[in-house]
Amino acid sequence: MTSNNASYLIFKDLEITSNNYIMIILNKEKLIEFLSDVNTLCDLSSIKNKIFILKNVITNHQKDKEGFINIEASEETISIRKDVIIS
């Protein structure tokens, strides 16, 4: 395998497949509060569980019982690419 082929294999999964990114609008205060709570946790299992909750809410808007997802942008929200926050 040549070095060009090796580089291609390494970076193949990083290619951008679409110029149409899905943006989501999050409640800034709720997100900061959530991340502050995660930051206080000490054990990895608890951190993973909390992050799983956030990822689940972002991917399944119907499960948003905390009010993370907003429909309209405002000064109290942030817009972020869905693929970025999930990763």
Which class for 57: exposed (0-12), middle (13-18), buried (19 or more C-beta within 10 A)? buried
Place of tokens 């679409």: 18
Distances in whole angstroms, Cα of residue 39 to Cα of each of 15, 75, 79: 32, 24, 22
Place of tokens 């019982």: 65
Nearest to 67 by CA among 43, 39, 31: 31
Mind listing the pLDDT tens digit of every residue in the chain (87 residues)?
A: 545 555 444 544 444 445 568 888 889 999 999 999 999 999 999 999 999 988 988 888 777 787 888 778 888 888 988 888 888
